[in-house]
A and B are shown apart, each in its own frame.
Chain A
Amino acid sequence: MKRKIALAALVLLLLFAAGCWNRVELEQRAIVAGFGADQSGEEGKIEITVQVIKPGEIRAGPAARGGSPKAVVVYNSTGYTFFDTLRNLTMLLGKKLFVSEAKIMVVGEELAREDIGKVTDFYDRDHELSTLNFLLIAQGEAREILETEVGTEKIWAYGIADMVKAMKAHGKAPATKVQDFLDAVESKTTAPVAAAVQVVRKEKEEGEGEEKAGKEKAVLPKDLKLSGAAVFRKYQLAGWLDEKETRGLLWVTGKIKSGIIVAPAPGSEDKLVAFEIIRASARIRPEMAGGNLTVTVEVKEEGNLGEVQPDTVDITRPGVLKELEERKRAAIEDEIIAAVIKAQELNADIFGFGEAVRRKYPREWKQLEDRWDEIFPALEVNMAVEAKIRRTGKITKTAEPKP
C-alpha cells in the first residue's frame, strides 16, 4: 500500500515537472532571421541590425501578398560589442532575442574594413549562434540590406540565404559560411573571402537631385543583388572581386557547380554562344624546380552547348565542336587569369596556393611561409584547363530563314 501511495505521489509530481523552468513560449520569442553589423557613428561602437520574425504573420499564406502585414520587423541598436548590442536590443523589443534560427550575417563595408573580428568571435563562442550561417559583406551598409524587402520570401533574411545557396546556378558569388571564413583566417597564408551583397534600385533616381531625397527615397523600389566577393587580409577587408574574378576564384577552388559561360561564336565575332557548366573539378598543383616555385591550376570542366545566337554556328560540321570547346576553354582561362591578377594586386592568397605548397612541400614551406607576402604577388601561375562539350541540346541547327 505504501508503495502504491508513493508511486501515485511520483506520478502526480510528473504533472508539475513537465517542461523546463526557463521555457519561453513561441509568441514570446523574438526569433532572429538575420543579423547586420555596421560601424556606428559613435566612437568605438558598433551597430547591430536584426531582422525579427513575427510568428503570427508567417502562416498568412501566399495570397496575402501585397498590402499584407510584413512577416519581419527590423530593429537596430548600438553597443560596444556584438553581445552587448544584442542585449541592448532587448530594450527595444522587450524580449530576449532567440538567435538559433538566424541564417545570415551581413557585415557593412566600413566595419569590414576596420575589423570584422569584432563580430566573428561571438559567433564561434556562443552556444546558440551557428557558424553555419552565411557571411555576406554589404557594399554599403548592412542595415540597408536587412531593411530591403526580398519579394520571393516572407522572411527576407531567409531569402538572402536562398540567394547565397543559389550561387550554385551561376558561380558568381562565393557561399562562405562564418566557419569557412574563420578557417581561412587561421591559415597563415590563405585570404578569406565572403559573398558581396548590394542594394540595386529598380529605377534610376529621377534627376539625381538631392531635393527628391527624404521621403521619396525611402519608398523607392529596391532589390538586393548578390554579386562578386569581398577579399580579406586576416580580419580586414582588402578589396572586392567582380563577378568574373569571383568565378575565376571559384574555378580554382573547385566550388563551381553550374553556370553559364558566354563566348564569341566562331565565324562572326559579334554573335555569341553560351555553354552550361554541368560539372567541374579543380586541382592546385605546386611545382618546385631548382628553388623556383610555380603553381599550376588544373580545371576539368564538362558541359553542354546551351544557346547559339542565330546565323552563326553549324555544329554538325566537323571541327566546329572542337572550335567551340577551345573557345570555352579560353573563356574559363580568361576568368581565372582575371582572378589571379586581382588577387596578386591585392596580395591576398584567396586560392589557398600557400596551403597547397605547404601540403606538397612541407620542408621547403618553412622557408617560404614568412616570405609568402613577397612570393605570392609575383608567383607564376600556369593553367591547364580542359573543357568538354558533351551535348548540344535538342536541336542540331538553329532555325534559319530559307533563302
Chain B
Amino acid sequence: MLEDGRISNRQAVFLIVSTILPTSIIYIPAIIYQEAAQDSWMSVLLVTAYGVIVGAIIAGLGLRFPDRTIVQYGELAVGRLLGKVVGLLYAVYFLYINTYIVREFAEFTTTAFLPETPLVVFSVGIVLAAAYAVRCGLEVLARANEIILPVVLVLILLLVALISPEMHIRNFTPVLEQGILPVLQGSYRPVAFLFTETIVMVMLIPYLSRSRQARGTIIRGILIVGLFQLIIVVAAIAVLGVRTARLEFPFLTIARQISIAEVIERVEPFVMLIWVVGGFMEVGVFYYCCVLAAAQWLNLKEYKALVLPTGVLLTVLSIVLWENVLELTRQISEILLPIAMAMHVGLPLLLLTAACLRGKGGGAR
C-alpha cells in the first residue's frame, strides 16, 4: 500500500476543518456581504446545509468502496478507461485548486503585511513547509493538525471576544431588505468551492481507523466549519456593517479595530498567525491528496518521489497563472467555481449513480 498510516476519525474532522476554514474566514465574509448584506448570516446557514448534503454524497460514494480511494474505485464504478480519466481528473484538480490557495496565501501576506517582498517568497515558503509534511505522510500531517487547529480556533474565538464591545446589533436590520434572493446569491459563490472541499475525503476515507463512520466525520467537520464561519460573518456584520463589502480582508480589519482600554491593541499579527498555520495545513492536505492520487494513478509503490516535482509545479503555477490579484478573484468565480462544482458535486454524484446502477461496491450496506 502507498500509505500505511491510519488516522482517527477525530483527526479527519480536524483535517476537514483545516482544509476549509482558513481561506474561508479570510476571503469569504466580504464576498457573501457583497450579495447578501446584513443577511449574510443566513447565507452561511444555507451554505452549511448545502455543505452537509454534498458531504453526505461524498461519504455515500466513499462508503461503497471503503478500502479504496477514488482513483482506485473509479475503475470499478465506471469501467477501466473512464475510471482512469476520473482518477486523472482528481489528481490534476487537487493540484489546480491548490495553486489558488497558495496564491491567495501569498496575496494576503503581500497586501496586508509585506508589500515589498516578492510573491515567490511566500509561495516557496509555504510549499516547502507543506512538502516536508506531505513527505512525512498522512499520520504526521494529521497529528500536526491536531496541534495547530485548536490554536487557530481558540485564536478566532479570542479575537471575536475582544471585539465584542464594538458590535452593533442594529447592523443586522432590516432583515431580508431585498427579499430572499440576495441571500441565495450570497450562498452560491462560497458554497461552490469552499464548503464542498470535503471532496478531499474521497482520498482519505480508506485511511480512517473507522471508515464506516465517514459520513458522521464529514458532517461533523462541515458543521464546525459552518459554526466558525457564522461567528466570523456575524462579527463582521456587527462590527463593520456596510464596510464589510468594501474590504478585501474583513477579518483582518476586525482584528485591527480591537482596542481594549488602549492596552490590548494591534493584535492583527494573530490573524497572520491563523492564516499562516491554517494556510499551511490547507495547502498540505490538498498537496497530499494530489500526490497520493497521482501515485495511485501511475501505480507507483512510493509517492515520495512525486512530492518534489509536484511542489515545484505548484509553486510555479501559483505565480504564473495570474497576472494580478483582480485576475485571481475573477477567475475564482468564473473558472474555479464551475470546475469545483463539477468536481465536488457533479462527478461524485455521477459516480455514485453509476456504482448503484451497476451494483458495484456496497461495503456500506
Which of A344-376 touch B at CB < 8 Å?
358-360, 362
Q: Which chain A positions have C-beta within 8 A of B115? A: 127
Which of B104-120 touch A at CB < 8 Å?
111-113, 115-117
B241 within 8 A of A: yes
Which of B320-334 touch A at CB < 8 Å?
none
Q: Which of B112, B113, B116, B177 has most chain A Cβ within 10 Å?
A: B177
Structural contact, B113 and A132, CB atoms closer than 8 A:
no
B143 within 8 A of A: no
B259 within 8 A of A: yes
Q: Which chain A positions have C-beta within 8 A of B246? A: 124, 186
Chain B: CB-nearest residue to A100: B266
B111 vs chain A, min Cβ distance (A)? 7
| Cα distance A183–B247 in the bound complex, in angstroms | 12
A187 within 8 A of B: yes
Q: Which chain A positions have C-beta within 8 A of B177? A: 358, 362
| Cα distance A127–B116 in the bound complex, in angstroms | 12
A152 within 8 A of B: no
Structural contact, A127 and B112, CB atoms closer than 8 A:
yes
Given contacts A183-B241, A359-B173, contact A132 B116 (CB under 8 A): no
A87 vs chain B, min Cβ distance (A)? 14
B111 contacts which of A127, A130, A360, A362 (Cβ < 8 Å)?
A: A127
| Cα distance A183–B240 in the bound complex, in angstroms | 9
Chain B: CB-nearest residue to A21: B117
B365 within 8 A of A: no
Q: Which of A127, A130, A182, A358 has most chain B Cβ within 10 Å?
A: A127
Chain B positions 89 through 103: 1 when the CB is less than 8 Å from some CB of chain A, otherwise 0: 000000000000000
B241 vs chain A, min Cβ distance (A)? 7
Q: Which chain A positions have C-beta within 8 A of B243? A: 179, 182-183, 186
A292 within 8 A of B: no
B359 within 8 A of A: no
Q: Which chain B positions have C-beta within 8 A of A359? A: 170, 173-174
Structural contact, A183 and B256, CB atoms closer than 8 A:
no
| Cα distance A360–B177 in the bound complex, in angstroms | 10
Q: Which chain B positions have C-beta within 8 A of A360? A: 173-174
Q: Which chain A positions have C-beta within 8 A of B117? A: 22
Interface of B: prevailing SS: loop
A43 vs chain B, min Cβ distance (A)? 31
| Cα distance A186–B177 in the bound complex, in angstroms | 17
Q: Which chain A positions have C-beta within 8 A of B57? A: none
| Cα distance A127–B111 in the bound complex, in angstroms | 7
Chain B: CB-nearest residue to A360: B174
Q: Which of B116, B174, B257 has most chain A Cβ within 10 Å?
A: B174
Which of A179-218 touch B at CB < 8 Å?
179, 182-183, 186-187
B231 within 8 A of A: no
Chain A positions 68 through 102: 1 when the CB is less than 8 Å from some CB of chain B, otherwise 0: 00000000000000000000000000000000000
Q: Which chain B positions have C-beta within 8 A of A358? A: 174, 177
| Cα distance A130–B258 in the bound complex, in angstroms | 12
B242 within 8 A of A: yes
Chain A: CB-nearest residue to B116: A22
Chain A: CB-nearest residue to B172: A359
Q: Which chain A positions have C-beta within 8 A of B116? A: 22
Structural contact, A362 and B174, CB atoms closer than 8 A:
yes
Chain A: CB-nearest residue to B113: A127
Q: Which chain B positions have C-beta within 8 A of A132? A: 256-257, 259
A181 vs chain B, min Cβ distance (A)? 11
| Cα distance A74–B242 in the bound complex, in angstroms | 36
Q: Which chain B positions have C-beta within 8 A of A127? A: 111-113, 115
Q: Which chain A positions have C-beta within 8 A of B242? A: 183, 186-187
A78 vs chain B, min Cβ distance (A)? 25
Chain A: CB-nearest residue to B253: A131
Q: Which chain A positions have C-beta within 8 A of B176? A: 362
Chain A: CB-nearest residue to B262: A165
| Cα distance A359–B111 in the bound complex, in angstroms | 35
A298 vs chain B, min Cβ distance (A)? 15
A225 vs chain B, min Cβ distance (A)? 24
Q: Which chain B positions have C-beta within 8 A of A182? A: 243
| Cα distance A183–B253 in the bound complex, in angstroms | 14
| Cα distance A179–B241 in the bound complex, in angstroms | 11
Which of B216-255 touch A at CB < 8 Å?
241-243, 246
B256 contacts which of A130, A186, A187, A362 (Cβ < 8 Å)?
A: A130
27 A-B pairs with C-beta separation under 8 A: A22-B116, A22-B117, A124-B246, A127-B111, A127-B112, A127-B113, A127-B115, A130-B256, A132-B256, A132-B257, A132-B259, A179-B243, A183-B241, A183-B242, A186-B242, A186-B243, A186-B246, A187-B242, A358-B174, A358-B177, A359-B170, A359-B173, A360-B173, A360-B174, A362-B174, A362-B176, A362-B177
Taking beta carbons and an 8 Å cutoff, which residues of A are in contact with B? 22, 124, 127, 130, 132, 179, 182-183, 186-187, 358-360, 362
Listed from nearest, the 10 A-B pairs whose CB atoms lie closest are: A362-B174, A359-B173, A362-B177, A186-B242, A359-B174, A127-B112, A183-B243, A22-B116, A183-B242, A127-B115
